Amino acid sequence: MKSYAVALVALLPCLAASLGEVDKAKMIGNPGAPVRIELFSDFQCPGCKAFHETLLPVIIRDYVVPGKAYIFNHEFPLPMHPYSREAANLATAAATIGKYQQVADVLFLNQTSWGATGKVWDTVASVLNPAEQKKVQALAKDPAILAQVQQDVDAGKAQNVPQTPTIVVSRGTKRYAFPGPDQGNYVLLRSLIDGLLK
């Protein structure tokens, strides 16, 4: 997890200036990299937690740090998870102040706790200072933030995302959905990404 955070900090200056602040904050890596990896995830999904903590750091090490790919995070809260939409709204609001990754990390780390109690805000607030807390709490109810989360959901539906986590790997016009990435099928995912890099 620490190597993920170090890699992320090192890559933040590489983000394109032409992108919106929320988009930049939800990216890992240089958007000029040849391969784009779109990640559709749900903060209350156990599979997404496992992906975030085990496979995402490996993808960052193997593809993002060397500049072969970049990752774009999409919110895809599933209706069966009662607090995932609130978590997505808060994370997207935190993106406006450059705190998306910190909020995502703490939400996944403490998923079991807030998923049982519904105290999503308490978890998010733990990585924000008082001024940031006030801003994020207000923004999480802003219609523009709610619309951004819904745009992510709509993008996932348009791409027939079957489950979380799902990644969509693309280069140019070639696009491939890869549902359920995990340690067990990473060899297949590597093969797909390496094929796009040729």
Q: Is residue 5 part of a domain?
A: no
Among residues 29, 47, 41, 37, which one has the least CA distance to residue 194? 37
Q: Is residue 6 part of a domain?
A: no
- Per the structure, the complete domain to which residue 161 belongs is given by 13-197
Q: Is residue 186 part of a domain?
A: yes
Q: Is residue 132 part of a domain?
A: yes
Q: Is residue 83 part of a domain?
A: yes
pTM: 0.87
Q: Is residue 172 part of a domain?
A: yes
Q: Is residue 169 part of a domain?
A: yes
Per-residue pLDDT of the chain (198 residues; tens, 9 = 90+): 444 444 444 443 333 333 466 778 899 999 999 999 999 999 999 999 999 999 999 999 999 999 999 999 999 999 999 999 999 999 999 999 999 999 999 999 999 999 999 999 999 999 999 999 999 999 999 999 999 999 999 999 999 999 999 999 999 999 999 999 999 999 999 999 999 999
For residue 157, the domain's CATH number is 3.40.30.10
